[in-house]
Amino acid sequence: MKRILVIGAGFAGMWGALSAARKLDELHRGADEAEVAIINPAPFHSVRVRNYEQPLDPTLVQLDTVLGPAGVRLIQAKATDIDSANRRVTIERDGASESLDYDRLILAAGSVLVRPPIPGLDRFSFDVDTYAGACKLQAHLLTLPALPDTPARYTAVVVGAGLTGIELAAELPSRLREIVAEGDRSKVRVVLADRSAKIAQSMGGAQPVIEGALQALDVEARTGVSLESLDGRSVTLTDGTTSERIEASTVVWCGGMHANALAGQLPVTLDPLGRVPVDAFLRVEGVPGVFAAGDCARILIDGARPSVMSCQHGRPMGRYAGNNAACDLFGAEMLPLSIDWYTTICDLGPWGAVYTEGWDRKLVSEGETAKATKRTINGERIYPPRNGTREDIFRAAAPVVQTPPPTRRTDKR
């Protein structure tokens, strides 16, 4: 029996497995001829892009409710090694190692938060990179009222003003005020720090709107600075010449992403983000039998620009990788992936959101209008069907490029 093996059950991996199963069904290849198996350490798919929110329960999708109806086998384990020459993956589970052979492999192991060697970072910082990390942050926040009444108690510093850092910083003032006693709410302080000259510097026409929204939410900006150190009671920021010490009990690191280390085990040259190069069919260049998708793969998404680490690109990359792996296995025609649109929707907590179009990020809607679109994306669009119906799951896993999420435009166009 032939096997399509998928590493990772994030956006790209889950959809890759489902799309492969869908194509095998379409090709009338039964369970006696081929199987799709997916390796993932947890029994759930985490809607990672929502980790800045609370509560977190809605961000988890139990994998058996989606993979089971599609006939995909879940292997709850950690992939540790890829032997592409012999088409074999080593996994660890229950303290033991074992090997799995594959005929086609889809690497969709995702990305991890970059943690540079900054004094105190590993020991005293929090993150929202994973479900476990986001839960740990919330558990910490709930302990703050029991701490001594110092300026540090209700001060949170978010380091890194990419989209994740901005979204978390916008949420934290209201989250903290819900936790503290009414008389202490004026003591809540949230600082967002970044090395760029402006917060949201890459957000084009949305940049001044984001900056104004954060000011309205009482989020303080520190720009042109880097994290120098932290000790659990304070954080020190530096512009390279002078340093500023801020008393803070909560420091959240949002300092950038890097592809999973498994990508480095393939015999290819990685890009600066640690991603493997793939062609329009999601095949890893120069490595027979291996496809890759999501955050650990780099494709020229429109033929010219590289994909970004986002569910916006990870989901279609996974669908096409799964479809093409099944096609390649049985000699059917593969489909090239090309996406000719790009949007960015940044959540700004109680203030609303911003929605931009194009690589230059033209602002098209903001405030509650954009927030409604963001709710639809976070709560519906990026989820698989959860009714357990095989036909619905296969329909959602088809290798098609969705149209941009609709919004009520507030620009002049």
| C-alpha to C-alpha distance for 347 and 170, rounded to whole angstroms | 8
Residue 136: burial class (beta carbons within 10 Å; 0-12, 13-18, 19+) = middle
| C-alpha to C-alpha distance for 373 and 293, rounded to whole angstroms | 26
pLDDT, residue 27, reads 98
Q: What is the pLDDT of residues 197-214, one digit of tens each?
A: 999 999 999 999 999 999
Sign of CA dihedral 78, 82, 83, 88: positive
In three-state form (DSSP H/G/I as H, E/B as E, the rest C), the secondary structure along 142-187 is: HHHHHCCCCCCCCEEEEECCCHHHHHHHHHHHHHHHHHCCHHHHHH
Nearest to residue 311, comparing CAs of 386, 210, 367, 381?
A: 381
pLDDT, residue 413, reads 55
pLDDT, residue 409, reads 87
**Pairing of β 44-46 and β 60-62:** antiparallel
| C-alpha to C-alpha distance for 77 and 329, rounded to whole angstroms | 25
Cα distances from 266 to residues 277, 302, 355, in angstroms, run: 10, 25, 37
Tokens for 327, please give them.
């096609």
φ, ψ of residue 348 in degrees (nearest 5): -125, 40
Place of tokens 């036909």: 391
| C-alpha to C-alpha distance for 352 and 368, rounded to whole angstroms | 5
> Which CATH code fits 2-112+257-340+391-396?
3.50.50.60
Strand arrangement, sheet containing 343-347: 343-347, 353-357, 362-366
pLDDT, residue 412, reads 56
What's the average pLDDT block by block, 10 residues per block, for the chain (413 residues)? 98 98 97 97 97 96 98 98 98 96 98 97 98 98 97 98 97 97 95 97 96 98 98 97 98 97 98 98 98 98 97 98 98 98 98 97 96 96 96 98 90 60
- Tally Cβ neighbours within 10 Å of residue 255: 22
Nearest to residue 47, comparing CAs of 136, 130, 159?
A: 130
Asked, as a colleague might, if the bond just before 288 is cis with ω within 30 of 0, I would say no
Same fold, 2-112+257-340+391-396 and 115-253: yes
Domain residue ranges of the chain, discontinuous segments joined by +: 2-112+257-340+391-396, 115-253
pLDDT, residue 252, reads 98
Helices 311-330 and 11-26 pack at an angle, to 10 degrees, of 30
- Please tell me the CATH superfamily of domain 115-253, with its number: FAD/NAD(P)-binding domain (3.50.50.60)
